[in-house]
């Protein structure tokens, strides 16, 4: 099953539209395989490259994907457990500002993402259809755990497209 209109903020439509699979667990599994292969091929000499002034470096983009995935997974966990407490948004620019990407190796950033993605897979593999369709509020918008899984898969695909176009 795919997320339907009204189960996520329209802002996330782009990410969801990038996902071809009809099952969230397949989408995350396939996204993982593709993204792991992609990030393992990234050239180390591009780690601190930014394609324009005031744009993130490659390491910062990867840390952004990791931070966002942690937050989206946390939201999915809360919603799947029927927690209806409204959750706040986050400012990805502030997160990156304090991420200390410049002090880290590209490999450490990649390994951190892999650890987070494996935890995401474990979470979503444990959820049944009822848990996936439970709703919550984040950033003042209704969302389901299912939609968050598609957002996670599409978000990494979106950024891999940007990396290919602008960083390599």
Query: Is residue 2 domain-resident?
Result: no
For the chain, the domain total comes to 1
Query: Is residue 93 domain-resident?
Result: yes
pLDDT of residue 164: 98
pLDDT of residue 133: 98
Query: Is residue 1 domain-resident?
Result: no
Q: What is the DSSP string of 28-91?
A: HHHHHHHHHHHHHT--GGGTT--SSTTPPPHHHHHHHHHHHHHHHHHHHHHHHTT----B----
pTM of the model: 0.97
- The Cα–Cα gap between 60 and 37 comes to 19
Query: Is residue 128 domain-resident?
Result: yes
Query: Is residue 139 domain-resident?
Result: yes
In which domain, by residue range, is 74 found?
A: 10-166
> pLDDT (tens digit, 9 = 90+) per residue, 7-57?
999 999 999 999 999 999 999 999 999 999 999 999 999 999 999 999 999
pLDDT of residue 97: 94
- The Cα–Cα gap between 141 and 13 comes to 13
CATH number at residue 83: 1.20.120.450
Average pLDDT across the chain, whole number: 97
């Amino acid at each position: 099953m795919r997320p339907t209109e009204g189960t996520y903020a329209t802002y996330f439509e782009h990410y969801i539209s990038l996902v071809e699979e009809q099952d969230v667990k397949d989408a995350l599994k396939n996204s993982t395989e593709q993204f792991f292969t992609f990030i393992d091929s990234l050239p180390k000499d591009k780690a601190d490259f930014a394609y324009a002034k005031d744009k993130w470096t490659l390491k910062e983009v990867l840390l952004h994907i990791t931070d966002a995935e942690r937050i989206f997974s946390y939201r999915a966990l809360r919603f799947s457990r029927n927690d209806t407490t409204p959750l706040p948004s986050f400012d990805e620019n502030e997160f990156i500002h304090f991420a200390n990407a410049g002090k880290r190796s590209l490999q450490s950033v990649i390994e951190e993402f892999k650890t987070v993605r494996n935890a995401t897979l474990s979470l979503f593999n444990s959820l049944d259809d009822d848990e996936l369709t439970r709703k919550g509020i984040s950033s003042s918008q209704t969302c389901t755990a299912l939609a968050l899984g598609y957002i996670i898969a599409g978000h990494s695909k979106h950024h891999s497209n940007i990396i290919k176009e602008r960083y390599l």
